[in-house]
Amino acid sequence: MRPYLDLLQDILDNGVRKDDRTGTGTLSVFGRQYRHDLAEGFPLLTTKKLHLKSIINELIWFLSGDTNTAWLKANGVSIWDEWATETGDLGPIYGAQWTNWPTSDGASINQIDYVVECLRNNPDSRRILFHGWNVEYLPDEKVSPQENAAAGRMALPPCHLLYQFYVAAGRLSAQLYIRSSDSFLGLPYNTASLAVLTMMLAQQCDLEPGEIVITTGDSHLYLNHLDQVREQLSREPRALPRLRILRRPDSIYDYRFEDFELLDYHPHAHIAAPVAV
C-alpha cells in the first residue's frame, strides 16, 4: 500500500492548515487518488495493525440497513459509539440510504439490489453505482450528532458517499469517492471495506475481483495525529495478506464475519490515536 503512505507524506509536505467541525485542526490537501489491484493482495495496512473484525462487521451492518449500534456492540465493534444516542440510534445514516432510500410516494429503493441486478444482467452499464448523500436527511451542523439522530436526521453526513462499479474482461472493479477523508484513522478502514465489498459482489455475480480506486476530496490529517503519522511512515511496509471467502451465501446480505479468512497478515504494531468527535 505504498500509494497510501505516499498520500500521508503528501499531506505532511503540502497540507494547508484548516479548521474543522471538531475543533481539532487539520493539515489538508484536495483531490487525490490511488488504486490497488486485488490480485496483488488484500489492501490491509502492514505499517500498523488494523482490526479486520471491525471493518467487516461494519460493512455487514451497513448492508443490513441497520442504523443502531446495538448489533455492532454485540459483535465487538465500538467505532460508532461516540456519535450515537443513549439508545444507540444514529439516524438514517449509510445503511438506511443504501438499502432503504425513501421516495416521495412513501416507498423506498434498495440501491444494493439495483447494483447486484446490473452486475448480473447489464454489466456494461455506466450507471452501476449507489450513494448515501440524501440531502433531506443531512445533519444540522449547529447541533450535536445525538440531537440530529433524535430529530430523525443523520448523526453525521456520509464521508464515503459514492460507490461506482465497472466490469471488463470478467473482472469487477470499484471506485469510491470520499468527500472528507480522515487519512490516518478512517481511510485505511475505507480502503479495506471497499475491497471486501468488491470481493463479495464479485462472488455473488460470478466475476473476479479487479481494481479498487479511492478518490478523495478533502484529504486531511488531524493535528493530534501527526506524530503517529511520522511513526507509521518510518516503518517498512511488509507483504500484503490475502483474504479468502469461505462460502458463497445466498445473497449479498447473508455474509457473516466467520465467512472470511485472513491469511499471512504480519503487520507492525497498532498505533493508537484519538478520534476527533
Matching residue, cell 498520500: 7
Q: What percent of the chain has pLDDT over 90?
A: 96
192 in a labelled binding site: no
2 in a labelled binding site: no
190 in a labelled binding site: yes
Our answer to whether residue 159 is catalytic in this structure is yes
Inter-residue contact 119 to 165 (CB < 8 Å): yes
pLDDT 10s digits, 135-191: 999 999 999 999 999 999 999 999 999 999 999 999 999 999 999 999 999 999 999
pLDDT at 277: 75
Identify the active-site residue in 90, 159, 195, 199.
159
Distance of CA 29 to the CA centre of its chain: 20
Name the helix (H) or strand (E) containing 106.
Answer: none
Residue 8 dihedral angles phi and psi, to the nearest 5°:
-60, -45
Closest by Cα among 191, 182, 250, 243 to 218: 182
Give the integer Cα–Cα distance in Å for 157 and 97: 11
Prediction pTM value = 0.97
160 in a labelled binding site: no
179 in a labelled binding site: yes
Please tell me whether residue 4 adopts helix, strand or coil conformation.
helix
Q: Which CATH number applies to 2-77+96-133+157-263?
A: 3.30.572.10
Residue 274 above 90 pLDDT? no
Amino acid at 123: P
- Rounded mean pLDDT of the chain? 97
180 in a labelled binding site: yes
Residue 6 above 90 pLDDT? yes
Sign of CA dihedral 7, 164, 116, 169: negative
pLDDT 10s digits, 106-142: 999 999 999 999 999 999 999 999 999 999 999 999 9
- Cell representation of residue 92: 438514517
pLDDT 10s digits, 199-211: 999 999 999 999 9
Give the integer Cα–Cα distance in Å for 51 and 76: 10
pLDDT 10s digits, 241-273: 999 999 999 999 999 999 999 999 999 999 999
The residues that bridge with 167 in the sheet, in sequence order, are 172
The pLDDT-based confidence of 276 (bands split at 50, 70, 90) is: confident
Domain layout of the chain by residue ranges = 2-77+96-133+157-263
276 in a labelled binding site: yes
Give the integer Cα–Cα distance in Å for 106 and 95: 18
E strands, the chain, are 16-18, 26-37, 101-102, 108-109, 129-131, 160-168, 171-182, 208-222, 242-245, 260-263
- Cell representation of residue 172: 469487477
Closest by Cα among 37, 43, 59, 36 to 197: 59
